[in-house]
């Protein structure tokens, strides 16, 4: 693939991915404001953006088998834990940006867990197996992730157990 086309697809994937996430977040806000049809419109178009992002990722040849995808996920989560979020967090602290400081700390702590979970899944996949997985709970404020039971209080942000989302 030509380098320019490859870069264009990477950029388009990033843009479509961001639109997908933003529109889902906007849908949640519209729903809270009592506008269910606006929320439905945001969710529908968010799905279309996901379709576009998927097409771009396929065109890039960036979707492998489960083992390769887990390796990519581990590399991404590890980068976020060891390089990206530590720097972003320190910058936010230095600049006195409290909201950014909090959000980068929350993400940093959650990403560490994600890397561990993906690493365990990779071990199983490398052995030709699926993982044994209990219920997974995600904190809706910080992204704290835990398998089994949600804690009474989130260890990262203090949210109560009832707020966790079960997967």
List strand residue ranges (DSSP E) for the chain, in order: 136-138, 145-147, 165-166
CA separation (Å) from 21 to 9, 15, 46, 95, 163? 18, 10, 7, 27, 21
Q: Hunting for tokens 């529908």 — which residue is that?
A: 44
Which domains does the chain show, CATH number per domain? 3-59 (1.20.1260.10), 65-131 (1.20.1260.10), 134-167 (2.20.28.10)
Burial of 39 (0-12, 13-18, 19+ CB in 10 A): buried
Q: Coil, helix or strand for 38?
A: helix
CA separation (Å) from 110 to 24, 42, 118? 21, 27, 13
The pLDDT of residue 43 = 98
CA distance 75 to 16: 22
Average pLDDT, the chain: 98
pLDDT tens track for 5-62:
999 999 999 999 999 999 999 999 999 999 999 999 999 999 999 999 999 999 999 9
Q: What is the mean pLDDT of residues 94-103?
A: 98
pLDDT tens track for 119-135:
999 999 999 999 999 99
């Amino acid at each position: 693939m030509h380098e320019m086309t490859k870069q264009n697809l990477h950029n388009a994937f990033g843009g479509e991915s961001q639109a997908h996430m933003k529109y889902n977040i906007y849908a949640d806000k519209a729903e809270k404001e009592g506008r269910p049809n606006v929320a439905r419109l945001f969710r529908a178009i968010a799905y279309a953006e996901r379709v576009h992002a998927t097409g771009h990722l396929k065109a890039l040849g960036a979707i492998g088998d489960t083992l390769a995808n887990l390796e990519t996920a581990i590399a991404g989560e590890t980068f976020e834990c060891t390089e990206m979020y530590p720097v972003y967090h320190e910058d936010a602290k230095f600049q006195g940006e409290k909201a950014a400081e909090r959000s980068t700390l929350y993400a940093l702590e959650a990403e560490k867990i994600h890397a561990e979970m993906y690493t365990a899944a990779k071990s199983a996949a490398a052995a030709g197996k699926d993982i044994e997985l209990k219920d997974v709970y995600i904190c809706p404020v910080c992204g704290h992730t835990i398998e089994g039971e949600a804690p009474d209080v989130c260890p990262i942000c203090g949210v109560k157990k009832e707020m966790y989302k079960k997967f």
